[in-house]
Amino acid sequence: MSNEQESTGGVRTSSAEGGELRERVFGLRTAVLRSDAVTGVFDRITGRERVFASVQAGFGLGWMLVFLFAPLLYIVSLSFWQRGAGGVVVQEFTLANYEYILTESVDLASLTFKNLYLTILFQSLKYGVFVTVGALLLGYVPAYFLGRTVTKWKAALLLLVVLPFWVPLIIRYYAWILVLGNQGLLVSMLGWVGIEASGFLYTELAVVSGLTQALLPFMILPIYNSVNEIDSSLIESAKTMGATPLRSFYEVTLPLTLPGVSAGVILVFILSVGSYMAPALLGAPSNTMVANLIESTFGQNLDWPLASAMGVVYLFVLFGLISVFNRFVGLDDVFGGGAE
């Protein structure tokens, strides 16, 4: 405590005589920045657009290289090593981790399939599909409304969509516990209309609904964006040519919002399949998802190599699924493919 006071006292005294010093530093900095050497470099860079562009791109790529690819490379190499006593990583090459992940408890002779990793991976993908469908059904209407409506409240309504992002995810899940719990909001509300319930927490429904409410904005925003871009004269002309509102929706609006829908679907699917907190906090014991399995392998079992192999396989499966999705939907349209 006393140290803190002393140090602030120290800052105060130095600030009294610091004015002059600051001016000198400022003057020096200006001189450096205006010197021919510095301005020359800037001129040369901005003068050549190509150099400028590659510096920009280089910065982004460098960032990716250091913070994404390097750790990923480490994880890939870890996945070929072994766990020693007490969780020490033994740097000897092995394929045992992958073999274990893919073939454990699989007996082709008796057709029994109880493979832990693949069962849990399949379960995660299943929840991902449920959440994506749920978010699409719940998100399309508000997104459509936001995109088509003409009201001065539009900004406020959009803010409401983004507002949950200001609250940390874990708090939103705890709030969901308060809603679904056995003494929760939903149970009380059902009680008012005479329905007895004992809470909905620690079920598959709790996981899927919790993820849906948490990820809904990721569905609404891209769809809103593509609805917003529709030229309203297209819909009007469909109607003048005799199309019913329903038909004009199916033939004009829906196809034009597909890019937004696919972007939303991809985002929500990826985020939900990789979810860790929702199954841990809201789920029943059997609702384990792949992130939970990787975490307990990494943390409790201190088996970094096996956990890494699990991560790598997960990455490949997800990548494969998105490539298949790409075949059908054409993500180039969504994210603006470079070929055009």
Partner 1 sequence: MIEKLNRRSFLKATGASATVGSAALAGCTGDGSGGTAETTASDGAETDETETTAESEELSDTLNFYSWGGSTQEALNEHVIEPFEEEYGVTVKQSSFGGQDKMLANVRSSPEGSYDVIMPSTATSYAAAKQGLVEPLRLENIETWSNLMPVFEDFSVDPGESTHVAPLYYGTIGMGYNSDYVDDSNGLSWDLAFDEEFAGQVAIEGVPYVRVFTTALKLGMDPNEMVGDAGSYEEGVKQVYDAMAEQHELVKKYWTSGQELTSLFSNETAYVGEAWGGRILSLQDEGYDNLKYGIPEEGAYGFTDTLAIAKGSKNRYTAEKFIEFAYRDDVITNLAPDIGYPPATEATSSDVEALPDFDPSGGERLTFQDQAFKNEHQQEWSRTFEQIKLGNY
How much is the CA Rg of the chain, to the nearest whole Å?
28
Nearer Cβ to partner 1 (163/190) = 190
Nearer Cβ to partner 1 (47/86) = 86
- Could you give the CA distance from residue 198 to residue 67 in angstroms, rounded to a whole number? 46
Nearer Cβ to partner 1 (177/243) = 177
Nearer Cβ to partner 1 (120/131) = 120
- Could you give the CA distance from residue 122 to residue 119 in angstroms, rounded to a whole number? 5
Residue linked to tokens 């913070």: 67
Residue linked to tokens 């590659």: 54
CB 123 within 8 A of CB 288: yes
Nearer Cβ to partner 1 (13/300) = 300
- Give me the least distance between CB of 181 and partner 1, in Å please: 6
CB 330 within 8 A of CB 322: no
- Give me the least distance between CB of 149 and partner 1, in Å please: 41
Q: Report the candidate in 290, 159, 275 with the shortest Cα–Cα distance to residue 215.
A: 275
Tell which phi-psi region holds residue 8, choosing left (phi > 0), alpha (psi between -120 and 50) or beta.
Answer: alpha
Q: Report the candidate in 265, 248, 239 with the shortest Cα–Cα distance to residue 143.
A: 265
Nearer Cβ to partner 1 (86/168) = 86
- Give me the least distance between CB of 123 and partner 1, in Å please: 8
- Give me the least distance between CB of 101 and partner 1, in Å please: 11
- C-beta pairs of 275-281 under 8 Å, 24+ apart in sequence: 275/124, 275/127, 275/211, 277/169, 277/170, 277/173, 278/173, 278/207, 278/210, 278/211, 278/214, 279/127, 279/207, 281/170, 281/173, 281/174, 281/177, 281/210
Nearer Cβ to partner 1 (3/233) = 3
- Give me the least distance between CB of 14 and partner 1, in Å please: 13
Contact residues for partner 1, defined by CB under 8 A:
2-3, 6, 83, 85-88, 104-105, 114, 116, 119-120, 177, 181-183, 199, 201-202, 280-281, 284-286, 288, 293, 295-303
Q: Report the candidate in 180, 196, 185 with the shortest Cα–Cα distance to residue 284.
A: 180
- Give me the least distance between CB of 18 and partner 1, in Å please: 18
Residue linked to tokens 């809201």: 282
Nearer Cβ to partner 1 (253/287) = 287
- Give me the least distance between CB of 273 and partner 1, in Å please: 17
- Give me the least distance between CB of 135 and partner 1, in Å please: 26
3-state helix, strand, coil in the chain (%, to 5): 75, 0, 20
